[in-house]
Amino acid sequence: MTRPTRATRRRTAVLACATAVALGLLGACSSGGAPTTAAPSRGTGTTRPSGVTSTATSTASATAADAAVTGRDVYAADGVGMLTGAARSAKPLVYVPDQVAGLVQVIDPSTYRVVATYHVASSPEHVVPSHDLTTLWVNSDAGDTLTPIDPRTGTPGTPVHVFDPYNLYFSPDGRYALVMSERARAIEVRDAHTMAAVRDVPVGCAGLNHADVTADRRTMLASCEFSGELVEIDPGLTHVVKTIDLDAIATPGATDPAMARSMGGPAGGLVRGASSMPQDVRLTPDGRWFLAADMLRNGVWVIDARTFTVARFIPTGKGAHGIYFSRDASRVYVSNRDEGTISVLDAATLVAVTTWVIPGGGSPDMGGVSADGKELWLSGRYSSVVYVFDTTTGRVTHEIPVASGPHGLLVWPQPGRISLGHTGTMR
């Protein structure tokens, strides 16, 4: 029997849970249907990728700048055209990992055409810029491989063996690469330049995948999609400090019936066993809140970045998945994968401003905002296309045909001093 792909397993889990919720069987999805395969032994991955620069950048100036913007705009260095360091010499391209076909397709953003296709290890999920912006890493989880791409040329180098790299982040000081390993149920801490294994941080939850850090760059919040949880990781990257169980979240009381209804329960009630599937996690520009998209609750959780407690929930649309900010940090873009829309929120108030609609529907997933801020690029996860949105009008200007399973695409270069990982979590 052919083993189902990760995309198939995820989609099946979503549909099964959605059906259970609709039937009132709220407890049926409490485990998320995640596999519990034991992790095999992992290689050290000590080989330095060939043809890729590994010089670390100093973070002293970046740390000082962060101190200045904390509480105002943590994305102050991510404005229009604010390219720094190695990003200045990068060739403008869009990298599209195809999770089904085992490919990375490269799009020229000036012509909106695929200009190159590379075969990589099986199930490439995301393309991630390194902390010092010198390397782009293709995360192939099923293939247990990170493949480096030289951003100056757009060509891949020698792959590095790394166990189950579903997603990739970096410690704010640039010392460590943080491999989000779903199968190991752990964050694999590695040397950011050699990828040599350092230690594992067990998380105890299923479906570890996305994360972001506080404005002071000390504490990480990560999502676990299959168990419906968020986990707070200590500043030393050694253990889980706190687990937030979204499946058993309490509504805020009868004073907010709209929120209670949006979460599937009566005003003032406790919604236990209601399935959650947290995805992308991003910090708001003022540093006050983490936002966590939830594919099954169809909206975004708002978590206090100081206390790590849930403050409220914002309904957006079916299959809320990716979270991105405009280049002036005034808007939040939330991709609603299961209904083909983008919800636009005011970044200061988190109030809905408008909704962009893909004509005829679609499956907008992961991507990023162009360096000039004029376009939002997103993969069409189940539509075999890449969408390009005009951020002024919200209109889809291009649907670029690609292979059958596009996922975490990267628009590169992007503004910012450093990369914290994913498809351009820049600071």
Higher confidence at residue 43 or residue 407? Answer: 407
- Rounded average pLDDT over 157-179: 97
| Structure confidence by residue, pLDDT tens digits, 208-224 | 999 999 999 999 999 99
- Domains observed in the chain: 6-412 (2.130.10.10)
Quick: pLDDT tens for 262-290.
444 433 344 444 589 999 999 999 999 99
Range in 38-42, 158-162, 178-182, 195-199 with the lowest mean pLDDT? 38-42
Q: Can you tell me which residue has the tokens 């849970």?
A: 17
Taken as a whole, the chain contains a residue count of: 427
The model's pTM is: 0.82
Structure-model confidence comparison of residues 275 and 134, the more confident one:
134
The pair of three-digit structure tokens given for residue 13, joined into one six-digit string: 């889990």
* pLDDT level of residue 148 (50, 70, 90 thresholds): very high
DSSP structure class, residue 4: P
Question: 65-79, 104-118, 306-320: lowest mean pLDDT where?
Answer: 65-79
The pairing of strands 145-150 and 385-390 is: unpaired
Residue with tokens 């989000």: 180
Two tokens, residue 265: 């329960």
pLDDT confidence bin for 136, thresholds 50/70/90: very high
Q: Tell which residue, 108, 86, 84, 87, has the closest CA to residue 96.
A: 108
Counting Cα atoms < 13 Å in the Cβ hemisphere of 102 gives 9
